[in-house]
A = this chain, B = another copy of it.
Amino acid sequence: MSLAHALLTSLLEQPSSGYDLARRFDKSIGHFWQATHQQIYRELGRMEKAGWIHSEPDPEAGRTRKRTYAVLPAGRDELMRWAAEAAPLTELRDEFLVRLRADAVVGPLDMVPECVRRRALHADKLRAYRAIEARDFAPEAEPTRRRRIHHLILKAGIQYEQGWIAWYDEALQVLAQE
């Protein structure tokens, strides 16, 4: 049940509507825990039933159905309880590696263009992360605890993308030997 807890975290950082949450999510926690808006709405409903959050019509919403969600004490407690739990190790799970292994048996199918494409996508992500880093974690800014942790999390993403870029470079070398 990571999504519920990811949403709790995000709502604690700032109470917001489902839609805003979905968009903000994409730009923060979404970098390492993706969710569609459907999932988010469904989960918000469950969380409200569980008494973790509370919603009311957005005061600035006019006649729209927009609602603002905020975390209740029970939700905060639940988040603390959950965060302290041990999490299962995230294992490598990569469809492209399955395809590459298939290529080793039934190929060669020329995986080079796909490697090039994927390397570029990882490079895009890395660039985006670097931009966030430059903007939000400039060395002269005061490093509060929260900032240090957010930076650390961002570095996980940077490390992940860099690893793949390096690997695709090697893959291209290996696949070129033909």
Binds B, one of A37-45, A53-61, A113-121, A131-139: A113-121
Complex-state Cα separation, A166 to B90, whole angstroms: 15
Complex-state Cα separation, A117 to B102, whole angstroms: 34
Query: How many A residues face the partner with a CB closer than 8 A?
Result: 71
B105 touching A89, Cβ below 8 Å:
no
A97 touching B148, Cβ below 8 Å:
no
Q: Which residue of B lies closest to A33 (CB)?
A: B98
Given A83-B106, A87-B96, A163-B160: A170 touches B155 (CB 8 Å cut-off)? yes
A82 touching B108, Cβ below 8 Å:
no
B12 touching A97, Cβ below 8 Å:
no
B8 touching A102, Cβ below 8 Å:
yes
* A94-132 vs B, Cβ < 8 Å mask (1 yes, 0 no): 111111111111111110001001100110000000000
A88 touching B84, Cβ below 8 Å:
no
Which residues A72-95 have CB closer than 8 A to chain B?
A: 76, 79-80, 82-95
Complex-state Cα separation, A98 to B160, whole angstroms: 16
Chain B hits for A122, CB < 8 A: 89
A97 touching B32, Cβ below 8 Å:
yes
Q: Which residue of B lies closest to A113 (CB)?
A: B86
